[in-house]
């Protein structure tokens, strides 16, 4: 049994996360992701995350992709997109390194995109 303390990712934080193993079209490899679940929810060491991918110009207007510009605060190095269509629950053992934190405004946009893709009214 390991003596290391598992990470405690918090809502709005950007982490490098290990998404492998994956199947089919699921997002894969180690990549940044933002924690979208609220802090303290649930009893298991799980966090709901949305993976972050490189931004492409044709992503504009797609409701499931939220554009994020790189800043010193969020720890991203290039223009990116939060892909809320691939939101998933992951064990905290998959969280490798904390990069930074997204703004409250971006988290509101991400929450609105999640609501849109599930047709929440």
**pLDDT one-digit tens code per residue, 83-94:** 999 999 999 999
Residues 6 or more apart whose CB falls under 8 angstroms from that of 7 comprise 15, 92, 95, 98
Instruction: Say what the pTM is.
Output: 0.92
Q: Which domains does the chain have, with CATH numbers?
A: 13-117 (2.30.30.110)
- The residue among 90, 71, 91 whose CA lies nearest residue 80 is 71
Q: Which two tokens stand for residue 35?
A: 């924690």
**pLDDT one-digit tens code per residue, 50-70:** 999 999 999 999 999 999 999
């Amino acid at each position: 049994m390991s003596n290391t303390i598992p990470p405690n990712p918090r809502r709005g934080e950007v982490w490098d996360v290990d998404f492998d193993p994956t199947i089919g079209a699921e997002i894969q490899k180690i990549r940044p992701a933002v924690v979208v679940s609220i802090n303290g929810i649930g009893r298991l060491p799980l966090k709901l995350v949305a993976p972050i991918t490189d931004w492409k110009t044709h992503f504009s207007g797609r409701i499931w992709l939220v554009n994020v510009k790189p800043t010193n605060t969020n720890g991203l190095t290039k223009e990116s997109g939060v892909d809320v269509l691939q939101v998933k629950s992951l064990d905290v053992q998959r969280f490798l390194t904390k990069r930074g934190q997204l703004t409250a405004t971006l988290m509101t946009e991400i929450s609105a995109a999640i609501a849109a893709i599930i047709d929440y009214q």
